[in-house]
Amino acid sequence: MRVFRCHKLLYLCKSMNPTPKIAVIHPNSLCCMAMRTILSDIAPFMGATHGVEIATYNSAKDMQEDNPHATFLYFVAYEVFEQNLEFFEPLARRCIVLTEGKQNNIPAIFRTVDMQCPERELIKAFLMIHNAAHHAHGIALHSKPEEVELLSQREKDVLSLIVKGYINKEIADMLNISTPTVIFHRRNISEKIGSKSVGRLTIYAVMNGIVDVREL
């Protein structure tokens, strides 16, 4: 199974261009915006911590006219991919095809993500792809260890259950604490991480080793 060599590709792009890019190519501008939001959260953990641009395009032509050599990762709508297979085929290791439902005629060399799945599942799919790339090189899918210490052990316990989809009362029962205490911890977690979005909390929890992406 082929995987993305994100760190190596990023290094090569930086040597040629000071602002390497992740390209999202989709005819639907709303899909482009949604992808930009998710990738903005994930990009720092792909080795892309310094000046990576997430560029969106409505067509392959627009992308090709905007210095495609700086791009180290492509997220491409199925219809765009199908119409430009000759261009993307040599880039298979760096290309993720965005589908709407299951597509059976995509070559096995390409990875796919179903855009119709809920946001939580979409984030999980991207994290699984990133996880596979890192394990292939013996690298754990974690951020810097000191970042985990931002949260107390109880907050980590609560966070792990939040991102697994449990509601406040269920978390309270599982941890043998009151529901108001769970709400208190949730507020502290959101303030420390800087977001109330479950999607962003999920990314933080996985990247800091609080939960395994396979447990989501």
Residue 197 belongs to a domain with what CATH number?
1.10.10.10
The C-alpha atoms of residue 120 and residue 166 are separated, in whole angstroms, by 13
Report pLDDT digits (tens) over 1-45: 444 455 455 444 444 444 678 899 999 999 999 888 878 776 655
Query: For the chain, give me the number of helices (H) and strands (E)?
Result: 11, 5
Closest C-alpha to 151, from 122, 187, 176, 117: 187
Residue 140 lies in a domain: no
Residue, of 101 and 136, whose pLDDT is higher: 101
Structure tokens at 143: 């951020």
Structural domain ending residue among the three candidates 135, 159, 180: 135
Residue 150 lies in a domain: yes
Residues 76 and 105 in one domain: yes
Structure tokens at 50: 């310094």
The C-alpha atoms of residue 110 and residue 59 are separated, in whole angstroms, by 19
Residues 69 and 131 in one domain: yes
Residues 61 and 86 in one domain: yes
- Give the per-residue pLDDT at 9: 52
How many residues make up the chain in this entry? Answer: 216
Residue, of 133 and 163, whose pLDDT is higher: 163
Q: Classify 73 as helix, strand or coil.
A: strand
Report pLDDT digits (tens) over 74-118: 999 999 999 999 999 998 888 889 998 887 789 988 988 888 887
Fill in the DSSP letter of residue 66. Answer: S
How wide is the angle at C-alpha 163 spanned by C-alphas 148 and 166, nearest 5°?
A: 130
153: alpha, beta or left, given left = phi > 0 and alpha = psi -120 to 50?
A: alpha
Q: Which domain holds residue 73?
A: 6-135
Residue, of 36 and 58, whose pLDDT is higher: 58
